[in-house]
Amino acid sequence: MNEVSSVPACIGIIMDGNRRWARERSLPVFEGHNEGYKRLKDCMRWARAARIPHVIAYAFSEENWQRSEKEVGYLMTLFRTILENETEKMIAERIRIRFIGDRSRFGADLRAMMEKMETVTAASYDITLHLLMSYGGRAEIVAAANRLSAEGKGEATEEDFSAALWGAGIPDPDIVIRVGGEKRLSGFLPWQTVYSELFFVDTFWPAFTKEEFDAILTEFAGRERRRGK
């Protein structure tokens, strides 16, 4: 029998189009990123209402470090502001935060704040937000292979490899949503998305609506997921 799922256990979101949204409105780029963060908070509320326990958001890729110094500086300032000011809100809203990626690229103070937010939000929660920060899919796979090699692992199983990933413990996303009009995954969780249902939306991320989100969930509920069977 074909497997038919109604509510996804985990959704992934590639949040694209912040800069283009801002340029369309003759706004500074940072306004697009700020609005993008507001939309992510909205999306967490939508996911909670739909009883989806895990959301994975592609927030900052390894390639994003190559953007202009000014833009990267703003993004790091926004990230620091979130770490400093949003923790209590996350606790109150029972949202657990996990950061997935190459943390060595961040300063020691940011790494310490990331660890603190992860720890305090894990005490009691209803939904988990996995934020991909300084993340690249190939880099994650290479890092896992190097880790297994350093541990002297001979013939590793898929389970061994999954446990060695930066995102160990994240459920494989049932759905991947890419907004912004592009039709590619851009290094988003290549190991974990082999059986994900893909949805591509033209809307820029800051303009993404609950109606579009709900329409994706409705279409997903009607899809048959064979997983190669």
Share of the chain above pLDDT 90, in %: 92
Residue 55 pLDDT exceeds 60: yes
Encode pLDDT of 128-185 as tens digits: 999 999 999 999 999 999 999 999 877 889 999 999 999 999 999 999 999 999 999 9
The structural domains of the chain, ordered by start, are: 7-222 (3.40.1180.10)
Encode pLDDT of 40-50 as tens digits: 999 999 999 99
Active site residues: 16, 64
- Enter the pTM of the model: 0.93
Q: What is the 3-state secondary structure (H, E, C) of the chain?
A: CCEECCCCCEEEEECCCHHHHHHHCCCCHHHHHHHHHHHHHHHHHHHHHCCCCEEEEEEEEHHHHHCCHHHHHHHHHHHHHHHHHCHHHHHHCCEEEEEECCHHHCCHHHHHHHHHHHHHHCCCCCEEEEEEEEECHHHHHHHHHHHHHHCCCCCCCHHHHHHHCCCCCCCCCCEEEECCCCCCCCCCCCCCCCCCEEEECCCCHHHCCHHHHHHHHHHHHHCEECCCC
